[in-house]
Structure 1
Amino acid sequence: MPTTRRPRRGAWRSVPSCCAWRVTSTRGMAVSKFLRDLPINKKLWFINIVTLALAGVVAAVLQFVLIWDIELESARANALVQAGIVADNAAPAVQFLDQSNAQEILEGLRRDPQVLGARILLADGSLFAEIGSKGMVEAADDRTRLGSLVVRTPLQDGAQTLGTLELRLETSNVFRRILSYLSAVGAATLAALVLGGLVIYRLQRTITVPLSELTQLMREVSSGGDLSRRSSIAGRDELGELSCSFNRMIEQIEARSLMLSHELSERQRAERQLEHLAHHDPVTGLPNRHFFGKHLSQLRRGRIADDGLMALLFIDLDNFKFINDTFGHDSGDQVLVAVGERISGLLRGNDLVVRFGGDEFVVLLEHVVDEVRALRIASKIQEGVVKPLQVGSQEYRVSCSIGISMYPDHAASFDELLQRADAAMYAAKQSGKNCVELWRPAISESSSTRFLLESDLRQAMSAGQLSLYYQPIIDLSSGRVAGMEALLRWQHPTRGFVAPAEFIPIAEEAGLIIELGEWVMRTAFSQAVIWNRRHGRLFMAVNVSGRQFRDREFADKVESIVRSCGLAPELVELEVTESIVMENTAEAIRLLQDLASRGFSLSMDDFGTGYSSLSYLKRFPLRKLKIDRSFVSDLIINREDMAIVKTIIGLAGMLSMKVVAEGVETPAQARSLRDQGCEYGQGYHFSKPLSVPAVEALLNEEQSTYLPLF
């Protein structure tokens, strides 16, 4: 027969207890949320009512208990007095066992309507006399039962106890008095509660009404934004302080609002100004490159109608740097403003003129009929720019090179259109400047070749394709090899020999010339140390590029390389061109003086081909001037070249400089240069540029340090 598993004791009771706790907790949370969401006046009123009700209930209960005790004690005392009288009368009857007399005495109690029953018990507990129903009086301690009161009094004869008198009395009249008293007390309590509630309500309103007014005022201020409103609540209590604090807060908000409004207007003005500055050139006031980029973005998204041809003109001013360096940047800026105004005045209202940067301008022509129209507009711009410009008291003449590309004939995108116009402009520069070039595929092919050559040059630097050749520099008075000029050579694996004039400009533009120049110096100076140790004193000359010369750390780098190679500084000769030092004469003077102070020898290469100022030349700490080969090649047959060479040699002598003639091809040129006082010569008459083994062989030959001049 299967057994039924009885649940563990207390298991069933635990579940209702848990559930009851959850229900109580839920109700408590509901009451808490109810009170939290009530307005503060209703919340205070609710709290006050509950407090008064609890106080009234507690007072009523206390009064009920007090009156109950008083009335029952009074009734018990009266009953004991009455029982005592009856006991005194009944004691003789009990003493003499006169039962009838005792019964008669008890019968006399029937006249009292409050007496429900009485009986006399002998000392042994036996019943002696009784009135009322049987068992009406119980043998129990004196206590009040529902509707009746029982008291017991002993029957004594002196010190001897004869028996006991038990008396039961009705207590309904006592309850009636208690109820009447409680009614009066309850009415008084209720009246007190009502009166107290009214008083509390009035007191509560002195708090809630100002709070409501302040809340309403805050709501109106926050929703309407009227900061002129103020609280009128007066007083020195917390409400008055709150009102004053609110008014001060509104005043501060109003002041800050005015300040923020002023700041906002200033910020908007500044933003408009910044917006203008961000999209316009501060010098010319024309749209700048950033504006042009946004305009092209709009064109890409099709916001501007793309029907018809568009022409992009890339304009670059020729030799504008000369104006900046000679007359100052302020004059240069005024020239740019005048050029921008001229270009804008030559175009239609819907054409866009942009100062692209430096001395470059870009013009976007929309709805151009054909290439001929674009070329005609470009020529018109060219003719307008080349006219004399009067800036202040100075008259300037500038020219420009213009490249043109057409959309969509020459490019499918605006980025490509700009690149091809730029390439066409460079082609115009290479054609002799002050030219207009329309883009054609051959121009981009040249640019592509240039790009590939740059990529190959980067690889050549790490692949060991570059090498140095050295051309001797001869002392014309003795025929002795005085030094060497390091010349960079590139043997391309597929192109063969690449001329320095072809890849050096690419290295300059690509930023490779710094690394390349440091490699040249380190290699040449290390080789010079070897030759000086084997063959005596020889200086080493290296060319300095414009990018190197603009490097603020150039002097430190040269000194570091020379020290690491172990070459004496006086055997290092740095060659710079006129164009390099004239780009920024003040900075050039500082750098040249810094280099000279470190013991390096400085020479100016290709002297006479640039636009050196004699006032600056005397301030340059140069030791040598190198006459360009263009003046040496026709020296014998061209009187002008002879006069220029004589002038350079004479100028160098007066400035305590020595002269090196480049491109010496014949004995006659060598004799003429020596006779005029030129100290050094360099060229194929003496030796072509040689590799390291060839130089070693040259220096090791018998009387190799003395080469024939004639």
Structure 2
Amino acid sequence: MRVSRSLTIKQMATISGVAVVTISIFIVIQLFHFVQQRRIDYAQQMENVAHTVRVPLSQAVLKADISQAEVILNSLKPAGILGRAEVVLPDGLQALHTDFEPAKPVPEFIAKVFELPVQITVPLYSVEPSNPKPMALLILQADSWRVYQFILSAVSTMVTTYLLLALILSVAISWCINKLIVRPLGKIANELQALPAQDVISHQLALPSLHRNDELGMLIRSYNRNQKVVESVHDEMSRLTTRFALTNLPNKALFLALLEQHLSAVADGEIFTVMVLRIETLQDANGVVTDEQRDALLLTLLEKIRGCIDDATVVGQLSLSDFALLVKRANNPFRAMRLARVLLMRLNQPVSLHQMQLRPVLSIGITQRAASQTTAQDFLSRAASAMMSAHQQGKNQILFFDPAMMARAHKRLTQEHDILKGLAEGEFRLFLQPQVDMRSGRLVGAEALLRQHQPDGSWALPEELIVNAEEIGVIGSLGRWVFEESCQVLADWQKQGIVLPLSVNLSAVQLREPDMVTHLRDLIQKHRIMPGSLMLEITETAQVGEPEKALRLLSELQQVGVAVALDDFGMGYANLNWLSQFKSLPVSKLKMDRSFVCMLPHDDTMVRIVAAIAEIVGLDVIAEGVETADQRDWLLARGVQIGQGYLYSEALPVASFNQKYFAPAPQA
């Protein structure tokens, strides 16, 4: 390695720069002092000259002897410092003046900075005591060119002198720094540069005699102490190498490298999880079981860990009893906590070890990505810190590094339990809201809406229930229940000869489930649902995901006799680009979002846009949230004929819906 810019050059440049700036400031201050002193000297000399001619000049002016006054003024020409002499009356009118040789011009900047020219004014008094007021004023002005020459001479002298002094000081200080710091550091750097690889761990630096008690000596002693620690750690790692080779897992350095690689590959804000597991039984087994028994226990526990994770999870071994997991698909606290509980349950199971029963005990620490600038070492340190906190709380504990994440994970676990319990105990029901031909008021369809029984006895859909169900992974169970209930409603209608389409919301998360189409096919065949009677409204709670997979699944839905509608058209993912991905599918309807309808009749821009798009692609439009007659009339004027909203009916229980729309009319 070649040194391109040595410390010697850098220190000399720094010292010289500081010296030049300091000396420049000093020169400016001293120059102003010298010039001011010269101004005072000139003013004093001109006052002395003025006092020598004051009395005779006053008498000549008093007698109005102009020739005598001019002779007196001309006598001042030999005074070399003067550049102007004149007599003016009290009202400022010039009475007499003397012609001096034209003064050489002085730069305007110099004259302004140093207040040139220097000038004094002396009053000429009457000789009579009864008239003390001045009859005229004598004005003397110094030659500015002399001052300017003095300034140039002073500047050149000071610059030459002080720059020479700065050079001497820079060389002297640089030599001292080079002797005391740069050369010892260079010697250490050369020694380390030439150090063979095999001697790196055991290498020790010699302590210079002149640097035993200063910072350089402290640096060398710290280096030697750290080298001894590294050597001892290396020996310990050598002893553990065979045990790490047994599991064939990445060690701490390799795990950190893999984590750093994953950090650079994922997008900013993308969430994943890092876990640290300490299996305390592996530590407690030291001295109790043989090496072969401990190896068998280690492999057994590792096999259990691998049985709980997917192929995308990276497992590393940090020490004999500590393991690290990079869980790429645990993108929220709930999923991380659920995986940690599965690991805890599996690893806590008794292990038979050569006629010995062991129940492993472990502590788990979890952290999730909080900021894009977090490093791999920060992630691992946070997870390890959470693991140590869990260990201090007792056996078999799980802790997040962030307490807020811990609270959110427990909240999600509670929500999962509540939703599954509600399904089992009948706390969910389907309500139906009619879809009406707004021209005639005729019923043309219905939408199935999910409702949950509330503590006050009412039925409502809690805010964020669907979003939470998607995040915690129970949307599949909830969606299958809705499908089954909807198909049962259709089957009951068909038995009565009622042919009416029923719309059901489909979450994008459900769309990605591999068995969703199979489940729908089985339900349609079981209840003998007529093709097209069941319509799935694709919602935008989450992104659809891979377009090719979504297109394939929707094509399969078409084959099993399920129609598709685009819900909340014009909002979020349900936009023109989203529609373009599905233009090859037989989408039968567009549902206009209620936020567009509620702006009618004041703003119909979005209504006209959606209606125009539907006309171009040849699809019917269902307007949601129709609540007033004015909204209905505006929609009809824009070609939207099917409406759904409180103007016609709120969502009703299935029995009430059937009674209202399908019960036979009473006979007269």
User: Is the TM-score greater than 0.5?
Assistant: no
Larger Rg: 1
TM-score w.r.t. length of structure 1: 0.40
TM-score w.r.t. length of structure 2: 0.42
